[in-house]
Amino acid sequence: MPPVPSEEEAETEAPTVLPSSADLFIVYRQMLAQTAKLSSGSALVDLSKLFAKYLNIYSGQILKGTLPERTVSEDDIRTIALVLNTADYCFNTTSQLEEKIQSQVDKDIESQVDLENEKSSFLDIVNLCIKKFVVKIESSCDMAWREMTNTNWSKLKTVGDQSSYVSELQKNITSEASLILKHVTKDLYSRMICDKTVESITASFFTNVVRCRPISEVSSEQMLLDLYVLKSTFLNLPKLKEGADPSQSVLDKFGRHVSKSLARVETILKVILTQADPAEGLVQNYFFLIGDKSPDNFAKILELKGLNKSTQNQFLELFKSHMTAHDNLVDESPYLQSLNISNVNNTPLPSPNPSMSTTRLDLLAKDSFEKGFERIAQNTEAPVIKLNENIKTSFGRLFRRDTSGSHSPLHK
């Protein structure tokens, strides 16, 4: 295992991880070093299982319990970023711990040293933190979505500049993303936040497009313009982080992700943009853009355009008669397959801050750790129980700074 920050270093520097995480692995390193001097057999396997137990407790109760239930202030954002960094540190250090034990244990029992579940639990915390950040950005858009759905799109006569709700989206997305990215230290996670933000906002845009039906040709053209304006906001996300200078290859890759994410709503709006007269033009454009032979999916387009049932039936008959002339159509396009218009209509806007049940661990009692280790020792070599007192007494104070207000970096 590589050197971990000392307690003094953690005290004097502004923490990027919870100090208790460094303390935990200092104790682990000491215990592993002393146990390995006494045995290369089952004692090391048992020690790895004890390590795993407390890694799970640390992940599930300390890290998850530190996360705020609601992300409201910049302090909440700082806390989430601190937990994210800590989970990442714990994942990497647990991987190194696992490799270290495997290198020291007897080869015939090496496979019994397995910390995969513990590494996965830290990655789950990372994903939870990223999700909270994206939800924070998404929740800032609620009023803009309400403005979009309250617009009488069927009365729109001409296409103008970007809609006012898009200006609100641009402002809020840029503001919230800048604040969040400022506190995320690792470029990998900054990119993930940008990727997930694009996916989330685009999904919400499409959901609200469906809520705005009936959508005329003029309305769909305006929505396409709004979508392209939103795309420019997305493309700027990687540059929002202070001091960020992403390479052209990173920007190109992100640009492809943005285009792929927007493809569904962009394609559907282009189909809706097609005039219903002549009818053959709409059918042929559907085959060209959507590329499937599903009458049910085609009916969804007709519903979005607001055509009455009688007119829809005429279009469906035309659809079926022209379908036989195309041999390159798939059975069902993913663009429309998952769209359930009635469900979208009845689903309320998402809550900006979904509640999360979290439990804070006040303190891990040192005697429970000692008893667990002594039980292992009794089943192996007797000298193992005589570990140095500094190891046996240090575990109880590992988490005090993270759970007491006066010492916690979250309360400074």
- Class of residue 103 by CB neighbours under 10 A (exposed 0-12, middle 13-18, buried 19+): exposed
Of 173, 164, 131, the C-alpha closest to 146 is 164
Check: CB of residue 67 under 8 Å from CB of residue 358: yes
Q: Provide the H-helix boundaries in 105-216.
A: 116-139, 142-150, 164-182, 187-211
Segments of the chain with pLDDT less than 70: 1-15, 345-412
CB 125 within 8 A of CB 59: yes
Q: What pLDDT score was predicted for residue 288?
A: 95
pLDDT for the residue numbered 359: 28
* Residues paired with 292 in a beta bridge: 330
According to the model, what pLDDT value does residue 327 have? Answer: 86
Are the C-beta atoms of residues 399 and 363 closer than 8 Å to each other? Answer: yes
| pTM, 2 dp | 0.79
pLDDT of residue 154: 84
Structure tokens of 348? 């309320």
